[in-house]
Chain A
């Protein structure tokens, strides 16, 4: 398994947010983490990369337990994270944003260069020197993904990549994610949008109020409309 999460519990101050979260991601797989607003998708991702201080449980990445390690070490091991809020460095240009994400080549992961990323996201190539603060939401979404790919990750946590984007940009996003998959990057993508998830994912988990309540292939999920209707707003 590329990534195994077991018994993950997280707290923000006094509030218990995640309850015994567990899921797996295979080599080269695209797995969707589905759930409504506030279900705990982003907290799950933030906990995996160590951005939530109060967390417990086992997080095995490429066979090593990373749950006690600082964020930058987890990321340097090849576990990339794309935050939902995008968090572009608004004062930095596109190229400088990419530079922040740059990490050395990794033997077990595809190697991304600026040129390759500009081919994947042609819009970015046309605005290399534009400050991040003066880009549209869609362009920022592409930049945040490209920035994480500069770290040559073998697995990427993609937090709600389709959120707030126009249908045309969402299409581009689907293509980009499929290209990443083809290159061999494992992906966990959190989504509220089932249609988007279906276009890219092999399997899906559903999270509701901090608990995993379904796990299976997309076909299995389609066979259970009751679960889909109970936990996902369409």
Chain B
């Protein structure tokens, strides 16, 4: 019995940091409507700075002072980020905001390694809370008790701040109607900046308070942000009480989940999240949101099928690409195969997010599942390559069917957070369930049959599949299903009103996109000869998003161009620098701020401008679709 009580208290103590970070995220989202992906990064910087300061400053005052100073310092960094970056993208679509803050996260990951090195740092114990308390033979660290008391205290302080101060009243008003607050003479800019500072302060405090419990390392940002997303999805984005309750719930589920499923404890959290989403899609304490801005890009120009000239041009490009094995060496062909595979991956995501308006932040899950599907079939069942390639993607299909069912219940940022959380869950299973997946060591020795073994043959296979997939998805865009999907994207209410079952259409699109990604993953497994948990990791999901964004979210063919350019650049970049995340992150931020339309979108815009001198078509057709709901 005592053991369970201790386990319960450990869970409560873990909830403290989770609550601090999640409440910060919620507060920022409430006012600015930005889901700050970089919140985990601020948490991590808080921990690193606090580590350095606690090493320098001595004594109890030094320790606690260091914690507070670290939180304030990071809040100041947050203010700079808000003023320099976020102010430019408050009116951008959600997807861009998520990507820009994710780009920041990538940059921070490399920066902390540059500054503090790649090793785990073990911090000082908190003065006055070094010991443990004996509880019927079980030890409870006294620092845990401190954390258990701290979270309700912070909750109380936040409550007073929001209910009893003018600032709090203004923030609550702005959460509901920002423009009206401005129309009453309140300077929104500074309100936003101050809110961001408070949110970042909370995240950094959460990170700083973590150092006596856990080592500081450069991957702690992603771990916390995924848990925080789960917390805010369960608790309801924008609700501080919700963040508190859900943080406790998730931490307890983790604490007891380890006892029930030691290897895959995260399953339990997932099950609870699934139940909450079915019963209350907006979270336990959240409020149902009105249909938010849904279009993925700034404007969506109506698409048209390719003209016959453009078809010939595409065919010519394909033929030219197919001649590559006639003159290129093995390395180039392997790179070419990889690019072709990523074209498959990118067009599948493009189908989901540009055609369907569902920006998934966890699309790699289905890519990786396809890869694992092949690996299981080839290694465990010993099936031949052609069978594996046909059946392997079905694992991606099944994963997409299960997760997609829950994900399409939500939209916008909730959808993005949920898909990310799902992907991370799949990743954790692949990572933790060593007996089946090989864990970190992956599954090795997945080699193609002799007919596809040479790099040239494999390249033709990958290119052929990529071409088929691209043509098939494109044809789908202009099929009745594609029309229905685009209708649900542009106007959920009106499409429902003409009899389209929006959820089912979106679910179908999710499954199609997931299966297609699985096909890419299946080929990828054979290309690399192995499968690792990284094949379904967050960074791969983000790679796909950047490819689509780089090509142009609003175009139909952008994903292909984006995948080719991005993958080629990426392979080159990794060979050139150790700081690829820093460069990549900076690159993402730059695209979002400077070229939100991507390569193909920008070219199209230039072409359109040139065409304007000649007689225009119907002017209304080229205009942005404004959401009227």
A5 at the interface (CB under 8 A from B): no
B185 at the interface (CB under 8 A from A): yes
Most-contacted residue by chain B among A101, A103, A148 (CB, 10 A)? A101
B183 at the interface (CB under 8 A from A): yes
Residues of A within 8 Å of B175, CB to CB, are 91
B120 at the interface (CB under 8 A from A): no
CB distance from A215 to the nearest CB of B (A): 26
Evaluate contact between B172 and A96: CB separation under 8 angstroms.
yes
A116 at the interface (CB under 8 A from B): no
A13 at the interface (CB under 8 A from B): yes
In the bound assembly, the distance between CA atoms of A13 and B623 in angstroms comes to 8
Evaluate contact between A51 and B179: CB separation under 8 angstroms.
yes
**Interface positions of A from 70 to 112, Cβ below 8 Å from B:** 70-72, 75-76, 81, 83, 87, 89-92, 96-97, 99-103
Evaluate contact between A91 and B176: CB separation under 8 angstroms.
yes
Evaluate contact between A51 and B183: CB separation under 8 angstroms.
yes
Most-contacted residue by chain B among A72, A76, A91 (CB, 10 A)? A72
Evaluate contact between B169 and A71: CB separation under 8 angstroms.
no
Contacts A13-B626, A89-B172; is A83 near B180 (CB within 8 Å)? yes
Evaluate contact between B185 and A75: CB separation under 8 angstroms.
yes
In the bound assembly, the distance between CA atoms of A51 and B624 in angstroms comes to 20
CB distance from A172 to the nearest CB of B (A): 23
Contacts A13-B624, A14-B620, A96-B169; is A87 near B180 (CB within 8 Å)? yes
Q: What are the interface flags for B152-179 relative to A under an 8 Å C-beta threshold, 1 for contact and 0 otherwise?
A: 0000000000000010011011011101
Residues of A within 8 Å of B186, CB to CB, are 72, 100
In the bound assembly, the distance between CA atoms of A14 and B623 in angstroms comes to 7
B182 at the interface (CB under 8 A from A): yes
Evaluate contact between A151 and B185: CB separation under 8 angstroms.
yes
A55 at the interface (CB under 8 A from B): no
The tally of CB-CB contacts under 8 A between chains A and B is 64
Evaluate contact between A99 and B169: CB separation under 8 angstroms.
yes
Residues of A within 8 Å of B624, CB to CB, are 13
In the bound assembly, the distance between CA atoms of A148 and B620 in angstroms comes to 38
**Interface positions of A from 43 to 73, Cβ below 8 Å from B:** 49, 51, 70-72
In the bound assembly, the distance between CA atoms of A99 and B174 in angstroms comes to 13
Evaluate contact between B182 and A72: CB separation under 8 angstroms.
yes
Q: What are the interface flags for A12-31 relative to B under an 8 Å C-beta threshold, 1 for contact and 0 otherwise?
A: 01100000000000000000
Most-contacted residue by chain A among B186, B620, B624 (CB, 10 A)? B186
In the bound assembly, the distance between CA atoms of A96 and B182 in angstroms comes to 16
Residues of B within 8 Å of A103, CB to CB, are 184-185
Contacts A75-B184, A75-B185, A151-B185; is A14 near B619 (CB within 8 Å)? yes
Residues of B within 8 Å of A92, CB to CB, are 169, 172-173, 176
B187 at the interface (CB under 8 A from A): yes
Evaluate contact between A89 and B185: CB separation under 8 angstroms.
no
Residues of B within 8 Å of A100, CB to CB, are 169-170, 173, 181, 184, 186
CB distance from B181 to the nearest CB of A (A): 6
Residues of B within 8 Å of A203, CB to CB, are none
B432 at the interface (CB under 8 A from A): no
Other-chain contact of B173, A49, A81, A89 (Cβ < 8 Å): A89
B188 at the interface (CB under 8 A from A): yes
Residues of A within 8 Å of B185, CB to CB, are 72, 75-76, 101, 103, 151
CB distance from B623 to the nearest CB of A (A): 5
CB distance from B293 to the nearest CB of A (A): 15
B interface secondary structure, majority = helix
In the bound assembly, the distance between CA atoms of A83 and B181 in angstroms comes to 12
Residues of B within 8 Å of A89, CB to CB, are 172-173, 176-177, 180
**Interface positions of B from 307 to 357, Cβ below 8 Å from A:** none
In the bound assembly, the distance between CA atoms of A134 and B182 in angstroms comes to 23
**Interface positions of B from 172 to 211, Cβ below 8 Å from A:** 172-173, 175-177, 179-188
A41 at the interface (CB under 8 A from B): no
In the bound assembly, the distance between CA atoms of A191 and B28 in angstroms comes to 39
Residues of B within 8 Å of A151, CB to CB, are 184-185
In the bound assembly, the distance between CA atoms of A148 and B182 in angstroms comes to 12
In the bound assembly, the distance between CA atoms of A233 and B170 in angstroms comes to 40
Evaluate contact between B172 and A148: CB separation under 8 angstroms.
no
**Interface positions of B from 399 to 448, Cβ below 8 Å from A:** none
In the bound assembly, the distance between CA atoms of A13 and B625 in angstroms comes to 10
Other-chain contact of B184, A70, A96, A147 (Cβ < 8 Å): A147
CB distance from A110 to the nearest CB of B (A): 16
Evaluate contact between B179 and A148: CB separation under 8 angstroms.
no
In the bound assembly, the distance between CA atoms of A14 and B177 in angstroms comes to 25
Q: What are the interface flags for A166-181 relative to B under an 8 Å C-beta threshold, 1 for contact and 0 otherwise?
A: 0000000000000000
In the bound assembly, the distance between CA atoms of A97 and B176 in angstroms comes to 12
In the bound assembly, the distance between CA atoms of A97 and B177 in angstroms comes to 12
Nearest residue, chain B, Cβ from A81? B183
CB distance from A97 to the nearest CB of B (A): 8
Contacts A13-B626, A14-B620; is A75 near B173 (CB within 8 Å)? no
Residues of A within 8 Å of B620, CB to CB, are 14
Evaluate contact between A75 and B183: CB separation under 8 angstroms.
yes
In the bound assembly, the distance between CA atoms of A148 and B187 in angstroms comes to 16
Evaluate contact between B172 and A72: CB separation under 8 angstroms.
no
Evaluate contact between B183 and A83: CB separation under 8 angstroms.
yes
Residues of A within 8 Å of B172, CB to CB, are 89, 91-92, 96
Residues of A within 8 Å of B170, CB to CB, are 100
CB distance from B587 to the nearest CB of A (A): 30
Evaluate contact between B177 and A87: CB separation under 8 angstroms.
yes
Residues of A within 8 Å of B177, CB to CB, are 87, 89
CB distance from B161 to the nearest CB of A (A): 14
Residues of B within 8 Å of A102, CB to CB, are 166
Residues of B within 8 Å of A91, CB to CB, are 172, 175-176
Residues of A within 8 Å of B180, CB to CB, are 83, 87, 89
In the bound assembly, the distance between CA atoms of A147 and B177 in angstroms comes to 14
**Interface positions of B from 572 to 629, Cβ below 8 Å from A:** 619-620, 623-624, 626
Other-chain contact of A99, B166, B183, B619, B626 (Cβ < 8 Å): B166
Most-contacted residue by chain A among B169, B185, B623, B624 (CB, 10 A)? B185
Residues of A within 8 Å of B623, CB to CB, are 13-14
Residues of B within 8 Å of A147, CB to CB, are 184
Nearest residue, chain A, Cβ from B163? A96
In the bound assembly, the distance between CA atoms of A70 and B186 in angstroms comes to 11
In the bound assembly, the distance between CA atoms of A92 and B181 in angstroms comes to 13
In the bound assembly, the distance between CA atoms of A191 and B99 in angstroms comes to 46
CB distance from A38 to the nearest CB of B (A): 15
Most-contacted residue by chain A among B177, B179, B180 (CB, 10 A)? B180
Evaluate contact between B176 and A90: CB separation under 8 angstroms.
yes
In the bound assembly, the distance between CA atoms of A147 and B620 in angstroms comes to 40
Residues of B within 8 Å of A49, CB to CB, are 183
CB distance from A153 to the nearest CB of B (A): 9
Evaluate contact between A148 and B184: CB separation under 8 angstroms.
yes
Interface pairs (13), CB distance under 8 Å: A13-B623, A51-B179, A71-B183, A75-B182, A75-B184, A89-B172, A89-B177, A91-B176, A92-B169, A92-B173, A100-B186, A102-B166, A148-B184
Instruction: Using CB atoms and an 8 Å cutoff, list the residues of chain A in contact with chain B.
Output: 13-14, 49, 51, 70-72, 75-76, 81, 83, 87, 89-92, 96-97, 99-103, 147-148, 151
Given contacts A51-B179, A71-B179, A92-B173, 11 further A-B contacts (CB under 8 A): A13-B624, A51-B182, A51-B183, A72-B187, A81-B183, A87-B177, A90-B176, A91-B176, A92-B169, A92-B172, A100-B184
Pairs of residues from A and B, 9 with the lowest C-beta to C-beta distance, nearest first: A75-B185, A87-B180, A76-B185, A71-B182, A100-B173, A89-B173, A101-B184, A72-B182, A96-B169
